[in-house]
Homo-oligomer: A and B are copies of this chain.
Amino acid sequence: MTYHAPVDDFAFLFDHVVDFAQLRGTSRFEDATDDVTRAILTEAGKLCDEVMAPLQRPGDLHPAHLENGVVRTSPGYDAGFKAIAEGGWIGMSADPEYGGMGLPMTLTSAVNEMMSGACLSLQLAPLMSQGQIEALEHHASDTIKALYLPKLISGDWTGTMNLTEPQAGSDVGALSSKAEDNGDGTYAVSGQKIYISWGDHDLAENVCHLVLARLPGAPAGTKGISLFLVPKFLPNADGTLGAANGVKVVSLEHKMGLHGSPTAVMQYDRATGWLVGAEQGGMAAMFTMMNNARLGVGGQGIGVAEAAYQHALAYAQDRKQGRTALQNGTGTILDHADVRRMLMTMKADTFAARAIALSCAMAIDMARASGNDEWRARAAFLTPIAKAFGTDTGIATAEMGIQVHGGMGFIEETGAAQFSRDVRVTAIYEGTNGIQAMDLVARKMMDGGEAAARLLDEIETLAESARGTLPDLAEPVWQASESLREVTEWLTAQPDMNDRFSGAVPYLRAFARVLGGYMHLKAALSDQDGAREKLARFYIKRLLPEHVGLLAHAQAGAEDLFALSAGEMVS
């Protein structure tokens, strides 16, 4: 049962759904030709199938562990990481000046998703580095860039992000780590950070931490936070490594899944760090990294969804059980309507989530290449949707994959359960999906709903143009978009944020459902009478109607939510 990277699906999406060719009209990405793009997807797919996928089970069975203060990674991870690094995959979208390939984020997103499907635990390591590379490119001094970027891009060193502290999770402004100016251009960073993915390991010679901390006298909350780069080993100017820094791993967490990825508690004890960005400008710099990472985490969910789908489909195509009334069946459980329902749901949702994530990546690329504010606003609006819907789809799809396996799904040996356990964290880290939804209905609607309206206009224009050719698909998508528009207008008109927040998660999900309908409709228009149209029909007939219940929920307001007292909440 091996993973097969969905290269063809990406190629189809690039050509027919997200209009990748637009990028070639910009000077920044004019080199991203069809040939180059296809070659990259194919090469990455090969790495996923042949090198990374075989590391999926060993990571679960032989978790990363702490040995005398040093983290030892799972068997085979070392060679796997080297293959990723040597292929240049870490720096795909990084600045060519420092060794990157300068490719569009859309392409990087595709590759990251494929790698996540192959081996989520290992893929998280390069993903963390990519976030750090982007933060440094935007906010670090030239000296730091020249020293760190080539090493991070080559994979000689890796990156982490250190935000969370025991009392400061979703509320990052509550953090209390400290930094003091050493007077020599460096700072002494002290504090404890938790949930640090790949906080330490033996895959690379250095681990570089981006750490949020407060300078003396800094204001409370997020405004008083600065960002520091704190390497495990202090580099010399020539890139060779010097003394160990004042940072250590206190412990690794015992997690539900993702065992191959060490999640560390890190202790900083007057560790030497360098300021990245302005003093008190830490949150802005961190958000550069986080937005990238949020889209990346959405892709992790989708990658696992794809892998879980393939895994369940292979099982279904092999497993003989029971008879059905179906004529010309396969003689396997694929002939059973309910198994088919599950697999079609998995496939249709994975496609929808993938198309949404790629659209988000396209908006990021177009914003960068064109400087256009509408693209920027679209990227900002789609990021929380791509993250939350991508990861929810990963969780739901992996869960359904277990069910397709029947009793075997609950047995660890099949690997179906691992997908479910691994992907579960993606709805939590990089901002829980609740935080994503709050971001969507608050910050991302500060424009009065303009970015949302522009998306809805686009959906309805397509639906109108499709009314003649695919009326049974176009009409429900148009109707759903109109319903969504009404609720969007209602939400943006609510002055009390709690009325928005109380429906935020169902609203985000409804938006994703409608966007999914749009993506499927687009696909169907490019592949009439083919498999794409059939998949679109399944989605639009069976899954899109979910938006009705979600929108009712989204528009319920906060009153009933807080009607019970804390005492009454207890059974």
Contacts and interface: CB of A to CB of B under 8 A. Distances in A.
Report the interface size class on chain A. Answer: 35 or more
B425 A403 contact: no
Given A255-B411, A501-B337, A546 B545 contact: no
B501 A336 contact: yes
Contact of A531 (B171, B324, B564): B564
Given A309-B571, A571-B4, A571-B8, A340 B254 contact: no
Interface in A416-445: 417, 420-421, 424-425, 427-429, 432-434, 437-438
B406 A170 contact: yes
Contacts of A320: 167
A421 B417 CA distance: 9
A556 B569 contact: no
A403 B428 CA distance: 7
A542 interface: yes
A428 B407 contact: yes
Interface of A: 4, 6, 8-9, 164, 167, 169-171, 174, 194-195, 253-258, 306, 309-310, 313, 317, 320-326, 330, 334, 336-344, 347, 395, 399, 402-403, 406-407, 409-413, 417, 420-421, 424-425, 427-429, 432-434, 437-438, 496-498, 501-502, 504-506, 531, 534-535, 537-538, 541-543, 545-549, 552-553, 556, 558, 560-564, 566, 568-571
B337 A558 contact: yes
Nearest to A164: B407
Given A255-B412, A257-B410, A317-B566, 17 more contacts: A167-B320, A169-B406, A170-B406, A174-B321, A256-B411, A336-B501, A337-B498, A337-B504, A338-B437, A403-B434, A407-B428, A420-B424, A421-B421, A535-B564, A541-B552, A541-B556, A542-B553
Contacts of A413: 254
B534 A560 contact: yes
A501 B338 contact: yes
A534 B337 contact: no
A326 B498 contact: yes
Given A313-B569, A402-B424, A534 B546 contact: no
B549 A537 contact: no
Contacts of A424: 402, 410, 417, 420
Contact of A417 (B256, B434, B568): B256
Given A403-B433, A410-B255, A412-B256, A560 B531 contact: no
A539 to B, nearest CB: 10
Question: Which one of A309, A412, A432, A537 has the greatest number of beta carbons of chain B within 10 Å?
Answer: A432
A341 B432 CA distance: 14
A410 B320 CA distance: 36
Which interface residue of A6, A313, A322 has the most chain B CB atoms within 10 A? Answer: A322
B325 A497 contact: yes
Contacts of A429: 407
Of all A-B residue pairs in the complex, the 10 with the closest CB atoms, nearest first, are: A545-B552, A337-B501, A171-B322, A338-B434, A546-B549, A256-B417, A534-B563, A545-B549, A337-B502, A531-B568
